[in-house]
């Protein structure tokens, strides 16, 4: 009896989780000298977000009644300087977060469960107050997706499993040795990158308040590395190729391949962050299909290939990195496409000269494709 192959969305979901969990390893693996016990660095956190869905398409208005709560529960691990990046980033927290919402009882969206590995970067650290910026990438499961008969109004989510991206800007106020109150703003994005259509995606800004509890009263001892990696001023070039699978709203159920080539020039402006200049080339089979459907002539590859240039920022965490880009198409014969595109990616450096990446490319709020790539570093 043949086993059923996992859907491509499941594969991408597992890849997202795997790459983000690599971020946890430097903080969890045992060192020769551990100044603070593992349990001393653990905290539990709960939050309530008051959120709504941005109606970037007319069909979204009918999905909810407006504002709704999102419940968050997190396990947090305080880093202590075991790796260079932990010291240089002022000892961030690493977390695993669960998000839950019923979208205010929405019959079209059902219930969302999301698991999001994340990192909280300190922007300001004082004795009584701390301001952090958090970012995470994980997987969301929605109990209801589009169905042309039973759930035809839900044009935002075409699959049960989706990528989940979560940002937050948080202020912590220390109440005691073990308790801290928090408040801030957050933004969540949920979509499958058009692996399965329809897929307008969900964009959910929110205000939140919460409470954090440190497991023990013991003070954490922070380390300062003997040698600090000096990266400021260094420049390199990355050449990569990636592929994605997607569907098209005009041909639901039919998969199209997307091939991406990229040259990226990046330079460190400090020891942990880089500025990027990318040149992107995209061949999208769904674009060819859409142009032929509209009666436009497609004689060769040049009629379908799109070329663009983008500026970006990269946060590095040892071998792992998070990237955000904003670009513009310089060559695009497909009149249905937007002029501006944006990218959000996770990269992992295998060796000094090789890397892998997972990238979500979108036209503003609407996801275009989710790609997996490999490349070399010069």
> Any residues with CB less than 8 A from the CB of 115 and at least 6 apart, and which?
17, 96, 97, 98, 138, 139, 164
pLDDT tens, residue by residue, 2-50: 455 555 555 555 555 555 555 455 444 444 445 679 999 999 999 999 9
**Average pLDDT score over residue span 168-177:** 97
**Average pLDDT score over residue span 330-355:** 88
> Any residues with CB less than 8 A from the CB of 349 and at least 6 apart, and which?
319, 320, 321, 355, 377
- Residue 10 β-bridge partners: none
Q: Is residue 3 in some structural domain? A: no
Q: Is residue 250 in some structural domain? A: yes
Tell me the percentage of the chain whose pLDDT exceeds 90: 69
What are the angstrom distances between the C-alpha of 4 and each of 1, 7, 139, 246?
Answer: 9, 9, 21, 20
Domain boundary among 179, 214, 249: 214
> Any residues with CB less than 8 A from the CB of 17 and at least 6 apart, and which?
115, 117, 138, 139
**Average pLDDT score over residue span 215-233:** 91
Q: What is the DSSP letter of 158?
A: -
Tell me, what's the pLDDT at 326?
Answer: 97
Shared domain check, 83 and 47: yes
Shared domain check, 161 and 76: yes
Tell me, what's the pLDDT at 20?
Answer: 54
> Any residues with CB less than 8 A from the CB of 240 and at least 6 apart, and which?
261, 262, 264, 355, 357, 373, 374, 375, 376
Quick count: other Cβ atoms within 10 Å of Cβ 114?
Answer: 24
Domain with 66, as residue range(s), is 8-19+35-214
Report d(CA 42, CA 38) in Å as an integer: 7
For the chain, how far is it from start to end, CA to CA, in angstroms?
A: 48
Shared domain check, 261 and 312: yes
Q: Is residue 1 in some structural domain? A: no
Q: What is the CATH number of the domain that holds 159?
A: 2.40.160.20
Tell me, what's the pLDDT at 197?
Answer: 87
Shared domain check, 352 and 250: yes
Report d(CA 307, CA 304) in Å as an integer: 10
**Average pLDDT score over residue span 118-122:** 97
Q: How many domains does the chain have?
A: 2
Measured in whole angstroms, the distance separating CA 127 from the mean position of its chain's CA atoms is: 31
Shared domain check, 56 and 198: yes
Tell me, what's the pLDDT at 57?
Answer: 83
Residue 166 has pLDDT above 90, yes or no: yes
Shared domain check, 173 and 248: no
Q: Is residue 297 in some structural domain? A: yes
**Residue 261's closest CA among 245, 240, 277, 247?**
240
Q: Is 44 helix (H, G, I), strand (E, B) or coil?
A: strand
Shared domain check, 277 and 204: no
Tell me, what's the pLDDT at 33?
Answer: 47
H/E stretch holding 237 reads strand 235-246
pLDDT tens, residue by residue, 237-296: 999 999 999 987 776 678 899 999 999 999 999 999 999 999 999 999 888 887 777 777
**Average pLDDT score over residue span 72-91:** 95
Q: Is residue 228 in some structural domain? A: no
Domain boundary among 152, 182, 214: 214
Q: Is residue 346 in some structural domain? A: yes
Q: What is the CATH number of the domain that holds 303?
A: 2.40.128
Tell me, what's the pLDDT at 176?
Answer: 96
Residue 232 has pLDDT above 80, yes or no: yes
Shared domain check, 268 and 318: yes
Tell me the percentage of the chain whose pLDDT exceeds 70: 89
**Average pLDDT score over residue span 44-63:** 92
Q: Is residue 222 in some structural domain? A: no
Shared domain check, 12 and 150: yes
Lookup: tokens for 53: 């869905």
Residue 370 has pLDDT above 90, yes or no: yes
Q: Is residue 24 in some structural domain? A: no
Residue 179 has pLDDT above 90, yes or no: yes
Shared domain check, 42 and 12: yes
Shared domain check, 55 and 119: yes
Tell me, what's the pLDDT at 21?
Answer: 55
Shared domain check, 195 and 55: yes
Lookup: tokens for 152: 């035809």
Tell me, what's the pLDDT at 30?
Answer: 45
Tell me, what's the pLDDT at 32?
Answer: 42
Tell me, what's the pLDDT at 31?
Answer: 42
What are the angstrom distances between the C-alpha of 245 and each of 251, 257, 259?
Answer: 14, 5, 9
């Amino acid at each position: 009896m043949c086993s059923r192959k996992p859907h491509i969305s499941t594969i991408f979901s597992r890849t997202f989780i795997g790459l983000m969990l690599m971020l946890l390893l430097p903080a969890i693996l045992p060192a020769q000298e551990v100044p603070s016990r593992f349990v001393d660095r653990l905290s539990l956190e709960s939050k309530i977000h008051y959120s709504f869905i941005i109606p970037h398409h007319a069909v979204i208005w009918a999905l909810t009644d407006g504002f709704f709560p999102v419940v968050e529960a997190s396990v947090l691990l305080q880093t202590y300087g075991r790796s260079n990046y932990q010291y240089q980033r002022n000892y961030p927290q690493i977390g695993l977060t669960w998000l839950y919402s019923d979208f205010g009882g929405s019959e079209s969206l059902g219930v969302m469960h999301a698991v999001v590995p994340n990192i909280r970067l300190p922007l300001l650290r004082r004795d009584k107050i701390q301001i952090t910026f958090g970012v995470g990438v994980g997987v969301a499961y929605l109990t209801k997706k589009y169905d042309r008969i039973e759930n035809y109004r839900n044009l935002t989510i075409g699959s049960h499993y989706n990528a989940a991206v979560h940002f937050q800007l948080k202020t912590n106020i220390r109440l005691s040795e073990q308790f801290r109150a928090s408040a801030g703003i957050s933004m969540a994005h949920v979509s499958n990158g058009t692996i399965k259509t329809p897929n307008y995606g969900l964009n959910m800004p929110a205000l939140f308040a919460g409470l954090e509890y440190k497991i023990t009263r013991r003070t954490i001892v922070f380390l300062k590395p003997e040698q600090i990696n000096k990266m400021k001023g260094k420049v390199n070039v990355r050449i990569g190729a990636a592929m994605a699978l997607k569907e098209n709203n005009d041909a639901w159920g039919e998969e199209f391949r997307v091939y991406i080539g990229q040259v990226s020039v990046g330079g460190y402006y400090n020891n942990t962050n880089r500025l990027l200049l990318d040149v992107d080339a995209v061949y999208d089979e769904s674009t060819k299909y859409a142009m032929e459907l509209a009666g436009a002539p497609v004689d060769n590859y040049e009629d379908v290939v799109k070329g663009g240039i983008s500026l970006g920022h990269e946060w590095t965490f040892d071998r792992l990195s998070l990237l955000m880009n904003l670009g513009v198409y310089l060559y695009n014969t497909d009149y249905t496409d937007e002029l501006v595109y944006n990218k959000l990616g996770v990269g992992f450096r295998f060796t000094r000269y090789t890397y892998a990446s997972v990238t979500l490319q979108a036209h503003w709020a609407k996801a275009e494709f989710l790609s997996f790539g490999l490349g070399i570093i010069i």
